[in-house]
Every structure is written in structure tokens, then in C-alpha cells.
Amino acid sequence: MTESASSRFVFDPSANRSRPLWRRLIPQRWYAHLILTISVIVITFPMFYALLISTQSNPEVYNHKFTPGSRFFENLHTVMVQRNMGRFMLNSFVIALSIAVGKTVMSVLAGLGLVYFRYPGKWIVFGFVLVTLIMPGDVLLIALYRRVVSFDAWPHPYVALTLPLLASATGVFIFRQHFMTMPPDLSEAAQLDGASPLQFLFRVLIPLSWNTIGALMVIMFLFGWNQFLWPLILLRDQDLQVVQWGMQSLTQSLEVGDNFGPMMMGVIITSLPPMIVFLILQRQFMKGFALTRDK
């Protein structure tokens, strides 16, 4: 993380020396810090409030206690052990990772097919893919279920779960845009060297696309992580269920009274894996941009 920060932070001693002392005492670009601090406070307030509640008992929540409560470990136990969230998180991690990788691979290939070849009716293919972005997936679930179960040789329920989700209009759109901004001389040079399109993809395009791949992986991982209605309908084995299913079991107790502590503990815990994925891919993200700029 620091390397990207330092590469962009240009230390210029001469500029610093010419500034009066009072200006050196307040941080440079204080307005950016100000705006960002305010944004962070406003935007993360709900998350930190959730974090606070995750340590409290119901009566503490009811009385708006502003200090950390007494039930952090009990709530953690309820979520992870009693409600089996650890298992669900592992399941969702596998599913989300498969979806993210699968979607990215397929989108890169489709992007290649939509940009680096000449053939009539290309816009029809693109439109065909793009329109699916607008189809409300939740409405199609029952019909999708019938299609999926009509084939009964799925090696594992997760294959049936993830395969229908692997095509990504967003991904195709992003890679098409991205490849179109690539300088044309790259592929001209590759063709002069006699490279095949796939060689060009692996040797040139992908190394230049880590930024896009990183960003897309984050989105797609989250897409997989947030799957709820589809696994709810498809999966019958409880041990295979997903993290959003676990969340719903923490939030469902409508008439018998909510249990806010475990509920918010669930919110916080289940938001962490996507954030970790983001933090890991963030570096890739920055390195990729450095490459693009060096061209």
C-alpha cells in the first residue's frame, strides 16, 4: 500500500522550504483531508454504529447506549457457532471466488472477441450480451430453477449454482471499453511478430489489464457474496447454504423480537471478506496503472 502512496507523493524539499512555518504545520491539501474526513464520518457512521450494536445486548440497544456493551463474545458465539456463520462464510467464499474468476475469464475472452476481430454484425453480438444487464434476474429465478433442475447430472450443487451466473454483461462491457482504449499499435506490433490472438491476449492484453481485472474481481466477488434468492431456491442441503442465508436467519425473528447484537455482529463479520478481497486486489490495481502509464 505504501509503495503506491509514495510513488504518487512527490517530495519536493525546495517547495517546502519556501513555505512559511504556519503553512508547514497544517497538512498539505488540507481541504482534501477535510472533505474526505467528513465523507468518511458520514459514510462509515452506519457501519460503526453497527459495530457498536454488535457488542450490546437488546436492552442496551433499546436505551441507546453509546458505549461498547457487554455482550461482544456472546454475540460472536451466537453468530459463528449457534448460527453456523463460519460454515456459511466458507461456502460463500468458495462460491464468490468461483464466480469472480469465472466471470473475469469469460469477460476477458468476450472482450477480445468484441474488439480484436472484424466480422459483420458485431453490434448485434454486443447488444445481445448487453441487454441481459437489464433483465431483472430475480423475476427469472423460478424459470431458471426449472431449466437448471431439468438437467440432473450436475456434479455438485455449486456447479448448478454458479454456472448460470458466469456470464457477465458488466464484465464484457468493461473489457470492451478497456480494450478499445488500448493503443492500436500494440496489436499491430503483435501481428507483425506473428502472434496469434490468444498469445496477444496472454502476453500483452492481460498484463496491461490488471487494473481492470482487479476492479472487476472486487465487483464480481461481491456479486457472488451477496447472492441470496437464487441459493435460497436451489440449495436444499443446509450445510451448503450461503452467507446471506445466514444473515437472513439473524434478521428473521419478526414477531418474537429481534436480537440486534447478533444481527449487527453478522453485518460486520460478513462485510469483512469482500473488504479483504478488495485490499488484496487494490495493490494489483495500482501496479497495473503504473504499467499503463509507462507505455
Helix 85-115 crosses helix 210-225 at what angle (to 10 degrees)?
140
Residues 159-218 interacting with another protein (rule: CB under 8 A): 163-168, 170, 172-174, 177, 180-188, 191, 197, 200, 211-212, 215, 218
Check residue 274 for interaction with another protein (CB under 8 A): yes
Residues 15-44 interacting with another protein (rule: CB under 8 A): 27-29, 31-33, 35-36, 39-40, 43-44
d(CA 192, CA 117): 16
Among 68, 87, 94, 282, binds another protein (CB under 8 A): 282
Among 153, 156, 293, 294, binds another protein (CB under 8 A): 293
Looking up cell 509503495, which residue turns up? 3
- Spell 31-60 as b/e; 16+ CB within 10 A means b: eeeeeeeeeeeeeeeeeeebebbbbbbbeb
Q: How far is the CB of 80 from another protein (least distance, A)?
A: 14
Among 97, 219, 242, 269, binds another protein (CB under 8 A): 219
Q: How far is the CB of 230 from another protein (least distance, A)?
A: 11
How many CB atoms neighbour CB 173 within 10 A? 18
Number of residues counted as binding another protein (CB under 8 A): 140
Q: Which stretch binds another protein (CB under 8 A): 13-21, 92-100, 243-251?
A: 243-251
Check residue 258 for interaction with another protein (CB under 8 A): yes
- Spell 214-243 as b/e; 16+ CB within 10 A means b: bbbbbbbbbbbbebeebbeebbeeeebbbb
Check residue 254 for interaction with another protein (CB under 8 A): yes
DSSP 8-state secondary structure symbol assigned to residue 27: P
Among 79, 95, 222, 242, binds another protein (CB under 8 A): 222
Binding string, residues 100-139; x marks residues near another protein by CB under 8 A = ------xx-xx-xxxxxxxxxxxx-x--xxxxxxxxxxxx
State the DSSP string of 155-173: SSHHHHHHGGG---HHHHH
